[in-house]
Chains A and B, each alone.
Chain A
Amino acid sequence: MVIAYLPALFTQLVRDCSEFDLPYLDRWQSVLGPELLEVEPLSSSDKYELFGKLAKLHSVAYGWQASSKSAYLTVELVRESEKTSWSTRDFVRRSLVVLDKLEAAQK
């Protein structure tokens, strides 16, 4: 059984425990610690790889070929994502917007 949650669940749990001296944390030990699956933000190289895959899929979906301009725009996109801490979903959305524009320009 895998349960996906926002980190706020555990942050609040720890806060409640320290405030009221509750033993909940002991009970949660089996799922905390090394067994906890924490989704980390993507690294820069992961983002380049992800954009490359999205570009491939986009070109298959809409019948065009991503040009060398897309490589330049990827660098911009990755730089911007790191400056403003986009989530992975934001990165995917903005990548697809960029690809839509490139495809429209090429056609």
Chain B
Amino acid sequence: MIPDLTQVDRRQVRRFLKAIADGVPTDGLTSWVTVGEQRIRDALAKHLARVRAGEFLVRFMLGNPGSGKSHLLRLLASDAVDTNFATSHCTHDLQSRAAFNRPDQIYVRILNSLSIPGNVSDPLNEVLSRWGELALKSLPPFRRMGNLWQLAQLGLLPDASSIPPRTRVALLGYMMASERGEDDERELFVNAFRGDRVENRVLASELTRLGVAPKFIGYTPNNYDVGFYFRQLATLAHLIKSIGLSGMVVLLMKLRR
């Protein structure tokens, strides 16, 4: 879309020019200023359509320093937001330990940068809240772990056996605490989902207090447990789709060697 430049705030344009000169991706005029790279832009548009249709895709974008990788990722994020996707980004940064051998750190950054359409201050809470409402409306009143398998059949969760046991406890606990209006307990389960260090025994005892004693919760994930964090992220992507958004786009940048 061509912006009406006479209506654009002059200071915003100055900030934009400074940002692109520094190679720092920014919002606003990104789409308009982009030239060339039609092949990649077409491919990214097709990928968004495939994800909207329910596919899971991983794509690598390669380019020399300064070739426009960050700019194109920002463009993808902007297109994703315009078409009702949740977006998230993370930059590989050794100094702050967000490296690809630390899936726990990558996961936390992805969650912390999560953004959904609309002016939402805590997107994870919003996603869980909307999902919780739908889930509670769809279930019979009796709470048990089996509820999660029922929700999977209704399309509100992925196959429950693919969800890590700890995440299953967190989701059921979240629903039960919401149902009872116990805000502190609900926050505990949200924090477990967010990647905070909440021990499994704490989650299990809280769920037991709410009325369901989990038979198995597995182990508290360690820093390097790629499988756990990936499956929890896949669960989140499913929740995002179940509340009516198009899907989730995660952008990972490797800026420094």
Contacts and interface: CB of A to CB of B under 8 A. Distances in A.
Residue with the greatest number of chain B CB neighbours at <10 A, chosen from A2, A62, A90: A2
A5 B73 CA distance: 11
A87 B215 CA distance: 58
Contact of B252 (A4, A40, A57): A4
7 contacts: A2-B47, A2-B249, A6-B65, A50-B33, A57-B33, A87-B66, A93-B21
Contacts of A92: 20-21
A40 B14 CA distance: 27
A3 interface: yes
A49 interface: yes
Interface string B22-40: 0100000100110111011
A46 interface: yes
Interface in B1-55: 5-6, 8, 10, 13-14, 16-17, 20-21, 23, 29, 32-33, 35-37, 39-40, 43-44, 47
Given A39-B72, A57-B16, A89-B66, A3 B35 contact: no
A31 B59 contact: yes
A100 B44 CA distance: 34
A23 interface: no
Residue with the greatest number of chain B CB neighbours at <10 A, chosen from A4, A7, A89: A4
Given A31-B60, A39-B61, A3 B32 contact: no
